[in-house]
Amino acid sequence: MSDELNKEKYKMEILKLVREYCNKYHKKSNYEKGQRIPYAARVYDEEEMVNLVDSSLEFWLTAGRYTAQFENEFSKFLDIKYCSLVNSGSSANLIAFMTLTSPLLGNRAVKKGDEIITVAAGFPTTVAPIIQFGSVPVFIDVTIPQYNIDVTMLEKALSDRTKAVMVAHTLGNPFDLSSVKDFCNKNNLWLIEDNCDALGAKYTLNGDQKFTGTIGDIGTSSFYPPHHMTMGEGGAVYTNNPLLNKIIRSLRDWGRDCVCPPGMDNYCNHRFDKQYGELPLGYDHKYVYSHFGYNLKATDMQAAIGCAQLKKLTAFIEKRRTNFKELREKLLEVEDKLILPIPCKNSAPSWFGFLITCKKGVDRNKLVQYIENKGVQTRMLFAGNLIKHPCFDEMRATGNGYRIVESLTNTDKIMRDSFWIGVYPEMTNDMINYMADAIKEAVNNQL
């Protein structure tokens, strides 16, 4: 038997054992009433583990064939031209924003001191790249119960320094893309959709239904374990714009000018015959840098898990929608005490969680502690109001570095009165019933 055949035989034996191991030792037991119900969990089977071990046996480690497969299949899923896999959703947001600072964009490039419209009610890494670069976040309030950017405030946020809008679809509920897109088009602004919590959500714009993340100039996703799909750590940046894609790839890969895939030389057939900057004629193109970039690539082992997860993604999204619908129906009887979430108009959300705001007379902290003690895991809406956090202490003290449009009344209310629970795909009807009963019991009898 040849070495190649022998090698393939060993690999098949190993993967067969991996499949058996996963089925024996990674199968979750059935839920029993009273067990802790997490807000999220990894949902996987033997396919993810087989792919992971298959990739590890190749020992390529960095981006390779699984990465190329994932980027291609993810692009097809979203119906978008270009996708770049990165090592986290936060890195995806970093690259998305820094792409807009590229000198290749001419007078549309974001400069230090330029303003970016966003919200304070969300996850910090939507805003962090703006501040880290030296641009100015302009914070707009959000609406309740959609928990997304208040589009009626956009014109008031506009100044002669405004260059972009960068905002997230909160917990899978799309923001008003029609209004935001029209505003950006009218004022020649970039739009970054932080889609990390909304993968699979759809929005109908001018009669055409599209996935969120594909309507703006750049979209981002996260594949951290609680999200719609996972590869452990991981994220993606995607666009239909070829110039933006070129910049994204450069920033992800050290800032280099070369577009050769990892392990490949002279992909463009001009490796040694071009002039770049003040370098010598013919300087090796693999070591020419057109941006101050990073190394934010994911490993091929992460991508291998993602390829298996992607096959399940549609089913995951539908189960999240079903769980959300059932949970909302069961909580309608306490709607006089709690504000329940509603979808944005013209949207089909891909729910990441079920967000609840306590009405007057209901103490959020007491409610949360009660249901946590009953085994129901909760989360705040991330930062609540980001500018209240210690990372803003210096900026608050000086009054420099950010701008608020009028007030953040709803943002502060969310910080004080809101929390969310999970709707992840492995949740059973018994788990949903238990969570709903715990919440109803708390507001009816304990508060």
Number of H helices, E strands in the chain: 13, 14
Q: Could you tell me where the DSSP H helices lie in 188-241?
A: none
| Integer angstrom CA distances of residue 211 from 55, 69, 164, 367 | 30, 20, 21, 35
Contact 168, 197 (CB under 8 A): yes
- 113 Ramachandran zone, left/alpha/beta (phi>0; psi -120 to 50): left
Through-space distance between the first and last CA atoms of the chain, rounded to whole angstroms: 74
- Active-site position among 169, 227, 228, 291: 227
Q: Per residue in 208-231, is it b (16+ CB within 10 Å) or e — as a string?
A: eebbbbbbbbbbbbbbbbbbbbbb
Short-list 326, 307, 299, CA closest to 56: 299
Q: Residue 193 phi/psi, 5° resolution?
A: -95, 110
Residue (of 290, 442, 293) closest to 358 by Cα position: 442
Q: What angle is formed at CA 348 by the lines to CA 181 and CA 440, rounded to 5 degrees?
A: 120
Give the pair of three-digit tokens for residue 58. Answer: 């190749």
Spatial distance between the Cα atoms of 128 and 102, rounded to a whole number of angstroms: 18
Q: How far apart are CA 81 and CA 391, in angstroms?
A: 37
Distance CA 120, CA 130 (A): 13
Q: What is the DSSP letter of 344?
A: P
Question: Which residue type sits at 138?
Answer: V
Rg (CA), the chain: 23
Judge whether 227 counts as a catalytic residue. yes
Give dist(CA 67, CA 86) in Å, integer.
10
How do beta strands 347-348 and 202-205 pair?
antiparallel
Amino acid identity, residue 207? G
3-class DSSP assignment, residue 163? strand
Which of 248, 282, 320, 223 is CA-nearest to residue 83? 248
Pairing of strands 202-205, 190-194: unpaired
Whether the bond between 145 and the residue before it is cis, its omega within 30 degrees of 0, is: yes
The residues that are catalytic are: 227
